[in-house]
Every structure is written in structure tokens, then in C-alpha cells.
Structure 1
Amino acid sequence: MPNGRIEVHGHRGARGLRPENTLPGFAHALELGVDVIELDVGLTADGVVVVNHDQSLSPVTTADTAPVVPGDPLFPYVGRELRDLTLAQIKTVDAGVRRLGPGQDCDPFLLTQLPLPGTRLPTLAEVCDLLQGLEEVDPAVELKTDPGWPDDEVRRFVLAVAEVLDSFGLLSRARLLAFDWRVLAEARIHVPQAARVALVERKTLADGTAWLAGLSAADPAAAAADAGANVLSPEHDLVTSRLVHDAHGRGLRVSVWTVNDPVDMARFIEYGVDAIVTDYPDRLHQVLATYDIPRPQPRTPVRLP
């Protein structure tokens, strides 16, 4: 029977309940009770770390409103890379209403997510400001790169994220997440005080993968330890009790993503994972309660969005 603490990670805030990667979404996750706020970041053309899941603005989560200046040749902005847009341009898009993507005929989050029209994408600094005074809640920041990025751009991105976290006194509490394990290597050198989380999914564990910075995908736990990770974070369909055992044997914590079915939550608790990343923190609270496992307390941000 499991015992001890299992962390609740709010995925993109609470994606199942509020618009993802937005200040209202993060605030709602805090109000439900989470140990960790998980978010994704990119870098704008003018060097600002902004919160968004993809490297480009997705038509599923964002919609254009108006150009930042009349006749802007880059408008419409949705569909463009973050690195090609300034913060001012990105701040014009509406991130508060989820929509069906091209070719989609259903989206389960449309049934459960509360639309909040007019919500803007936040900067990492704005999220850090929201977490001020909440020492019990840590930020988990996924840096969105891929193997096609030059090494110097990866390094620049890591340093930019670290600078923001450090300016709010959050660097030593932060977790830096990446599928592109060059991020972990740069963080180990330049930001050793932050925890490093090795993300894996089937695509990044394929033969000959470039995602793992030259390490073998044959043994994910061993590779993550060699990469200098503190945490192995696999996609839920990769997680077995053996993988959890192997990771723990190498001194790694295990954080499984993204788990929304209570039956799966219970299974991973039985496996002994250390954290569960979910779009529905409220569901995870209910499952943890059946195991009499302590749950994070609701928190009200000092600075409401």
C-alpha cells in the first residue's frame, strides 16, 4: 500500500478547467491546491520569455484580435513562431477560448474548460509574480526547443529563463523541464541550483533519436541519470512499475504526465511514483483522499490576475 507524499502538478495550470498557460488558469490551480505549477515557455523576437505550449501560436488556444500597429506585415499572428514575434504582437492575441483544431471533430477539454475571452498570454515574469508569497508551490518550466535548434540558442534560452526565475527568488525552487536534453546539460553547467527534469515520450525514445543529446534510449532511467537529471518524467503510457523501480534505484524521482483518468491515477500511486501531472487537480485530490495521502492546501495568490 502506498504511503508518504505524492506531488500534485497542475498541467499548464489546470488545462481541463481553465484556459491553459494563462494567469487565470494558474490561479485556479492554486485555489484547488497544487504542489507545482507546470508551464511551457518560449522566447520572443525581442528576447522576452513568454508562456505558451508550442513554438508557434496555435489556432486551438489562441485567436487574433488586431495588429499591434496598423498594416503590420506579420499580422495575422496565429500560426507564426514565437521567435518571429515581439511581446507586443503576442500580447494582442486572445488566449481565453479553446477551439477545435484543423481536422478535429471533438476535443474533451471543450466540455470541461471554462472560456475566459480576452485572456492574454503571460510572460514568465508575470507567472513568477503570481507565485510571490506562496513558498509551498514551485514552478516547473518546460523549455520548448527541439534538436534543430543551434546549441548557442539553447544556451541563450536557458540563461534567459534562469534570469527571470532568479529575479523573483524562485531559481532554487524551480524545475527546468525539457524533451531536448541539451537543455538539461546547459542547466547543469549554468544553473545547477535548479532541479532538472528529463521528459520522455515515445517519439523521443525512438532509435537514433537526437532528443537525448547523444545518450542511448535503451534505458531511459540510466540515460536521464547520465544527463544530470534529478527527475525522470515519462508520458503515462511508458510508465511501468519496473521503470519506477529503475529510476528510484538511480536516485531519480518519477513524475508521470499527463494523467486525467482516476483509474490511471490510482495505478500510478500503486506503482510508487513521486508526482502526477494532471489537467484536473480536483480529480487527483479525490483519488489521493481514498489513499489517505496528504494533499496540497488551496492557495489564494497575493496578486490576483
Structure 2
Amino acid sequence: MELFPPIPYAGWSDTLATVHRFAQVVGRVRLLASPRRNHWWNVPFHLAGRGITTRPMGLAPTFTVDLDLLDHRVDVSTVEGRRASFGMTGRSVASFHAELQRALAAVGVRGVDIAGARPFDLPDADRPFAEDTEHASYDTAAVTRYWQVLSQVNLVLEEFAGRFSGKTSPVHHFWHTFDLAVTRFSDRVVPPAEGTDPVTREAYSREVVSSGFWFGDPSFPEPAFYSYTAPEPAGLAEADLPSGGYWLERRGSHLAVLPYDTARSADDPREAVLAFFEAAYRTGATRAGWDVEGLACRDGVTDPVLRG
């Protein structure tokens, strides 16, 4: 299969809006049923062989919710073998929300109350999922393509993650922003600004450089690779980036951006993305005063014998 196949935002924006909300419904289950970890690492999805998964959660019973993006079904299953499943095609968000609650009840999951759940940081955040009959587009080919692109980008991010020996997040798929990201951390504590919400306080309690990929949204209608440093050090956006990359001012800070189509057109798309991530990371980490060379890790190896 072609590396980084085309996935223009305009070609599936309606489906993307629906699937994003499906993911947020399942994400609320994950938020409620998983043990909390620093920086919300317990909450995002991980990739599986046929789509995305919550991973096991809960204790009585222990269960998972998997979105099969080839057969376009949701599977809710327990470690005891109970299973409930339903299709995603032709459903509104309200229907998806109702079916997921029925599936959870069918396998014996109790105490995970998503009845009144609403979208997070989306234009319709005041409308409960249970009332959303507006979003019901589901192009199966586009959804499968989304998963294929996600899988390929995931492997590139895994390779990039292996080049750092410090504290780093998993490569994970955030359902609230619908991006795939890996984040590197320093030990420096970041005092929160007055009025910062608890989600942001936990996510950015330490200095970070985050690298990832998102599929686009109405304010930036194209898929792209990105990187940012938080807090943003002085002079960040003055640095040069590899060919095709640029700095984008967004919500009061700067993102390093490499458009997906620019990466696709490179002679070696994978190397172009890795070079972009590395340059953006080094720019942010150096300006923030990190020990960039000391934290470097060649090919994921820290063993001093193997490293030589």
C-alpha cells in the first residue's frame, strides 16, 4: 500500500465530524473506567490490528471497547468472554450513544454513566450526544483510509519516540482533539496560569515538546504533521524548519507545521517527516534549555554496551 495515501479534509469532513463524536462517546467511557495516570495518559486510544482500542479497563468486569474500522463495527467485550457488537454505518451520534450504552449493559458493565455526556471542545459542546441526530455521515472507504493513515503515521511516531531517552508518553490517539501524538517531557515544573482549567493543568504540569499529526478541522482544513513546545520559549518561531515546514500562529502560540501533502510529495516521505519532527524538537528543546544531546537515544538503545 502507498505510504501516506491521500486523505484530503474536504473529501470526508462530514464523516470526520461524525466519527470524531463517536470517538468522544467511547472516550468518555475510557475516562470514567480507567485508573488515572499523569498527563491523562490513561485516556487516549491506542491502535490495534483493525482499528482503535480503549485497552482493558474496569474491574468488575474488566472490559474493552474496540472500533473495528475495517468491518465498521464496535465490539464491547469482557475478559470472561461476554461480547456485544453493533455497526457504525448509517448511525447518528445519538444512535451510536444509545447503542453503546446498551452494549455495555449487555456485557454487565455497571457504574459507567455516560447518559448526559456532551462533546468536548467542539462547536456543539452544549448539546448532549443523546440529542445529536445532525451528525450521521459515515463513508466506509474514508473511515478505513483514516485508519490506514493513522497506522502509518503511528509507526513513524514510534520511530521518532525511540530517539529520546527521557520521560515520554506513549504514541496515542486523543479522542478530544482527534490527533495522534507523542510527547517528550523535561523535569521542569510549570506553574499554571491563573484560571487554567484542570484538563490543561494536568496535561502541561511539566515542560513538553509534543509531536503529532491531525486530520484537519474547519479552522485548518488540511491534514498536517505538527510540533509545539509548551511553555513556548522566546524566539521559537524565528528558527528555520526543513523544506515545506512553517510556523503557524494558533491560539496565542506557535505550531511547527508540515502539511501532509507536502510530506507525501517528498522523495522519501518518511524521512521528510522524521527530519521535520527532529528539527522542531531540537528548536524547542534547545531554546528551553534541555540537555538535548544527553537525552538523545540512537535507535531506541540505552544499553551502554550496545551503544559503544
TM-score (norm 1): 0.29
Q: Which has a greater percent of strand?
A: 2
TM-score (norm 2): 0.29
Higher Cα radius of gyration: 2
Greater RCO, 1 or 2 (C-alpha within 8 Å, sep 6+): 1
